[in-house]
Structure 1
Amino acid sequence: MQEYERKQLLERVEREGATVGADIPETITVQGEEIDLRTFVFEIKRRDTVPPGERDRVEQAKRNLRRERLERLETIEEGAVSREEGEELAQGIIGIDRALNALENLGPTDLEREQQAKRAADTKRWMSFLKQALGQEEGGSARRGR
């Protein structure tokens, strides 16, 4: 593979919108083990909530996918592959990124945490507003009295 081809592949996999329109691979080999990745991701995403036991499984899958992505990226960076192998690695990386995006955005579990954080922030803003408003009223009546 030529140096410019290697750089093009690396740029393509690191591009912001690389996963737009990309498919999650049916299967992927991660550390010598073949995984039905698409089935796994859709199975997890189909549920309303992720049970505690499944969260560990999902977190482990994400760690393994990140590790596999890094290994494939390093293989391209080293440049010791043919153009065709580089293309396959790049497509695999983009598919892994797509799966990771889907697993990172797991519906209600993340939404519940986000909603709690928003409520806490709203309460804090409201209390700050009240303190400021009450402080101004007290200051204003104290000034009138002088």
Structure 2
Amino acid sequence: MKEYKRKGLLERVNREAATVGASIPETIELDGEQIQLRSFVFEIKRRETIPPGERERVETAKRNLRRERRRRFDRLESEEMSYAEGEQLAETIVGIDRALEALEGLEPVDLEAEEQRREAADRKRWMSFLRQALGHDDDANRRF
């Protein structure tokens, strides 16, 4: 592949909006093992949050995908290949990025901790209101 074509592919892979309209690869080989990437991402994404039991599995998948993306990017950047091979590799890299974006968008939700934070914020707002309504805010400022 000619160097200017390689640079074009690398630029396409690194473009900020590269994943817009990109599809997640059906399968991908990670460490010699075929992974059903699209079905995994859709299974996790369907839940909207990462359940506590799945958190480690998702984090491991993200680490493996980042490592594989880097490996493939390095190949695209340095190995000799045809333009068609480079284009296929670039498409896979963008698909990996799309999968990572989908998985990164999910945050583990601890419902109990979230409820405690809300209750604490409500108490704080209520106490602030009471201090203002009773005129105690001025007293607190005069002590210092």
Q: Hey, what does 2:33 align to over in structure 1?
A: 33
Q: Hey, what does 1:7 align to over in structure 2?
A: 7
How many angstroms apart in 2 are the aligned matches of 1:55 and 1:140? 46
How many angstroms apart in 2 are the aligned matches of 1:105 and 1:71? 23
Q: Hey, what does 2:47 align to over in structure 1?
A: 47
Give the C-alpha shift of residue 11 in structure 1: 0.5
8 Å contact from structure 1 (residues 75, 81) kept in 2: no
Q: Hey, what does 1:77 align to over in structure 2?
A: 77
How many angstroms apart in 2 are the aligned matches of 1:137 and 1:79? 71
Corresponding pairs, count:
139
> How does 1:1-146 map onto structure 2 within 5 Å?
1-106=1-106, 109=108, 137=138
How many angstroms apart in 2 are the aligned matches of 1:3 and 1:53? 46
SS at 1:74 equivalent = helix
Please tell me the residue identity of whatever aligns with 2:63.
R
SS at 2:34 equivalent = strand
How many angstroms apart in 2 are the aligned matches of 1:30 and 1:49? 24
Give the C-alpha shift of residue 64 in structure 1: 0.7
Give the C-alpha shift of residue 110 in structure 1: 5.6
Q: Deviation digits for residues 47-89 of structure 1, max 9, x if unmatched?
A: 2542222111111111110011000000011041111111011
Please tell me the residue identity of whatever aligns with 1:75.
R
For structure 2, the residue ranges without an aligned partner over 5 or more in a row are: none
Distance change >3 Å, CA 91–CA 111, structure 1 → 2: farther
8 Å contact from structure 2 (residues 27, 35) kept in 1: yes
How many angstroms apart in 2 are the aligned matches of 1:111 and 1:14? 34
How many angstroms apart in 2 are the aligned matches of 1:105 and 1:48? 9
8 Å contact from structure 2 (residues 25, 37) kept in 1: yes
How many angstroms apart in 2 are the aligned matches of 1:140 and 1:35? 62
For structure 1, the residue ranges without an aligned partner over 5 or more in a row are: none
Higher percent of residues as helix: 1
